[in-house]
Amino acid sequence: MPDLAINIAGLHFKNPVTTASGTFGYGDEFLDFIDIGRLGGIFVKAVTGKNRDGNPYPRMAETASGMLNSVGLQNKGVDHFCREIYPRIRDFNTHIIVNVSGSTVEEYVEVAARINELEKIPAIELNISCPNVKLGGMAFGTVPSMAEEVTAEVRKVYKKVLMVKLSPNVTSITDLAKAVVDGGADAITLINTLLGMAIDAERRRPVLSTITGGLSGPAIKPIALRMVWQVHKAVQVPIVGLGGIMNATDAIEFILAGASAIQVGTANFIDPAVSIKIVDGIEAYMDRHKINTVADMVGALRTE
Ligand code: SIN
């Protein structure tokens, strides 16, 4: 039997398949559909310092091979998360990783410090890449000095595994990756969504209330693969890859490009059981190719 276990910055995952923040709720919404204990981990919905109502509707639009969203980090804030959500999910038999978001460095630090106190949360994903908020979000993830600063400030208060989620809306993804590693990131998640827009020609209006939104789904996979491959060559920390992963073959491509683990995002909206099918598909591929461990596949792309 191939061994699907992987290690990210000292944290043991039973397999490399996780679900992307904002596409899988807090995990318990999926209990009727799948055995979530078979997943490597769940990246839960973004948590900010205070309640956020999110952007006005419409904030989703279907596109060719993808979808746009402009949710705007809707959540009830870190107090609510710690009091109401954490007790509900703390004993899941998989890693629960919290996506930490904010508008200011202080807010990121405050949320990270609160999550640090939660015993059963082994890692956070610092979200410096949301394209749908006026303050913070992607603004931190597109300027290397700001990305380094927010990572370094969070590093001072967050004592467990610190992952940073990067935006693809940059000229040089490797500059951003190096900056967050310099700031103390243990691992990098990439990519978040690409800034896009949709237009209703009959009404001569944008489809989304915010005009622009974040594009996800199969349309962005080639860009995500390219960025994972570039970052894998540029930094030493592990990568969690995402961007249009719809099946096990897509997931394997990300691992070959350099990802130690992957996140399934948009595909969850189509098939709530897709992540489990991807675990099984990776195992079947490893069996067929006589690969013993996932680590043997990470970055194993043949380019010569
Ligand atoms: C959103 O809530 O607007 C999406 C989150 C993200 O893109 O990071």
pLDDT tens digits for 104-145? Answer: 999 999 999 999 999 999 999 999 999 988 888 888 999 999
Distances (CA, A) of 24 to 42, 43, 128, 199: 8, 8, 19, 28
Q: Of the residues 130, 139, 237, 282, which is catalytic?
A: 130
Distance 185 CA to ligand 1 centre (A): 20
Q: How far is the CA of 72 from the centre of ligand 1 (A)?
A: 6
Residue 287 is part of a domain; what is its CATH number?
Answer: 3.20.20.70
DSSP per residue, 110-147:
HHHHHHHT-TT--EEEEE---TT-SSSTHHHHSSHHHH
Nearest alpha carbon, ligand 1 atom 5: 130
Give the domain range for residue 24.
6-50+69-194+215-296
Active site residue 130: yes
Does a structural domain hold residue 190? yes
> Does a structural domain hold residue 302?
no
Residue with the nearest Cα to atom 6 of ligand 1?
A: 130
Helices (H), the chain: 78-80, 86-89, 105-116, 138-141, 144-157, 173-183, 221-234, 248-257, 267-270, 274-288
Residue 173 half-sphere exposure toward CB, CA atoms < 13 A: 27
User: Does residue 55 fall inside a structural domain?
Assistant: no
Give which of 103, 116, 120 is closest to 157, Cα–Cα: 116
Q: What pLDDT, on a 0 to 100 scale, did the predictor assign at position 136?
A: 83
Residue 35: what pLDDT?
Answer: 97
Q: How far is CA 199 from CA 55, 72, 206, 209, 278, in A?
A: 18, 19, 4, 11, 34
Q: Report residues of the chain scoring pLDDT below 50.
A: none
Please report whether residue 199 resides in a domain.
no
Please tell me the predicted confidence (pLDDT) of residue 135. 85
> Ligand 1 centre from 286 Cα, in Å?
33
> What ligand 1 atom has the least distance to the C-alpha of 137?
8
Question: Whole-prediction pTM value?
Answer: 0.97
Q: What are phi and psi of 37, to 5 degrees?
A: -65, -10
Domain count, the chain: 1
pLDDT at 137: 83
Distance CA 23, CA 74 (A): 13
- What is the Å distance from ligand 1's center to 2 Cα? 35
Residues at CB less than 6 angstroms from ligand 1: 22, 46, 69-73, 127, 129-130, 132, 192-193, 214
| Structure confidence at residue 262 (pLDDT) | 99
> 185-229, pLDDT tens digit by residue?
999 999 999 999 999 999 999 999 999 999 999 999 999 999 999
Q: Which helix (H) or strand (E) holds 97?
A: strand 95-100
> Which residues lie below 8 Å from residue 297, measured CB to CB, with a gap of 6+?
252, 255, 256, 286, 291
Residue 58 lies in a domain: no
| Mutation choice for ligand 1 from 55, 71, 140, 209, CB with most ligand atoms inside 8 A | 71
